[in-house]
Structure 1
């Protein structure tokens, strides 16, 4: 019974073909695309305004050299947001609950920011490993600690997104099971659990949006340190 709760995080397959590709592609295909008209409809106007506001806010503290990442990071934000939101629908699969997928995003992005820092400003990039004014006996220890913290960043990026979405989905399923089990024996408790379930779904929608934003925000902070 306990293992069945984790079946929702297993990548579905049909005739031996993994369907995670459909779960990744379909949400993006449902987004409205701008047309060549001078005036678009309200949905496209609101979408364009939100994207422009997000991009301006994200890259405001970043130097002009890092603005080349604007299109990529904005597209990543929309991609993660669409996947997280679509995973809350019934009978759907959330690819971002897979640690392998999240690490596949986190590791190349983190490595790209580190390589940019080493290429453009190697002294400043290596200077982060040793704070100024450090006593001589503590220099080897601090270098080791800062190096470990540097290499743990992509792991923290992937685990944060995976853990938050996985915990939310598990909690929703546990409370939904309690609502069904207690419906006949204790209807008042079941009704209370149902109200909590509705509120939790609203909270999970906010978590899906926030986690996508936090993922891209942390990548932009890493980029800001190395540009």
Structure 2
């Protein structure tokens, strides 16, 4: 029976029960809990240092009202990195390869940045729809174009995250299949394919972290326009 390469992106199930909810919730159990002690283990210290550095870098160019989103951005980055990297392990599932999950994260957060701008400074938020000095004849066209580009943002956020992870997983699946098939026929080529697969796996770990960072970074840029 021929198995499609896209079967790896299907939501896993056990006894007919979808396990995507478990795949989404399980990563939270892997995070070390902070303690009240001054001296903690190296893992908690590294986690705290990384999150502090990330939030400082992300919120430095942002106005003070946007700093309220610091905890949300830090938690979102940690969560996305965890589920993206864990999805590279054997017999695991990457929830962010599902467009429904990526869009479920992107759309509400994008809408939150837009509503924040409309609530706090509506004139400034609506001014993004029409650049200053636009000729009168081009005003309706530019408003339509800017409105479409505004509503495309959450789609671009979700599709970017899903497409990059899906492409990487498919490429790894293709190379690993080729290495297994070529092993009895051309062992040298199979060994070279396995070496390429190892390098690609390292690249995919970097891509998993970078895509999580880009997702949160773009959200912060959208927020920066509205605060």
Shorter-chain TM-score: what band?
A: over 0.9
SS at match of 1:185: coil
Alignment partners' CA distance in 1, 2:198 and 2:38? 41
2:101 maps to what in 1?
101
1:31 maps to what in 2?
31
Alignment partners' CA distance in 2, 1:62 and 1:153? 20
In the alignment, does 2:47 pair up with 1:47?
yes
1:9 maps to what in 2?
9
In the alignment, does 2:160 pair up with 1:160?
yes
Alignment partners' CA distance in 1, 2:210 and 2:2? 29
2:206 maps to what in 1?
206
SS at match of 2:34: coil
Structure 1: runs of 5 or more not aligned: none
In the alignment, does 2:133 pair up with 1:133?
yes
Deviation at 1:52, TM superposition (A): 0.5
4+ residue stretches of structure 1 with deviation over 3 A? none
Alignment partners' CA distance in 1, 2:26 and 2:127? 44
Alignment partners' CA distance in 2, 1:35 and 1:122? 42
Deviation at 1:36, TM superposition (A): 2.1
Q: Structure 1's 95 and 130: CA in aligned 2 closer, same or farther, altered over 3 A?
A: same
SS at match of 1:172: helix
Deviation at 1:2, TM superposition (A): 7.3
Alignment partners' CA distance in 2, 1:103 and 1:199? 30
Deviation at 1:215, TM superposition (A): 0.3
1:130-184 CA distance string (max 9 Å, x none): 1011111111111111000000000000000000000000000000000000001
Alignment partners' CA distance in 1, 2:192 and 2:2? 23
Alignment partners' CA distance in 1, 2:109 and 2:145? 22
Deviation at 1:41, TM superposition (A): 1.0
2:216 maps to what in 1?
216
Structure 2: runs of 5 or more not aligned: none
* Aligned-residue CA RMSD (Å): 1.1
Alignment partners' CA distance in 1, 2:128 and 2:107? 19
Which deviates more from structure 2 when the two are superposed, residues 188-197 or residues 173-182? Answer: 188-197
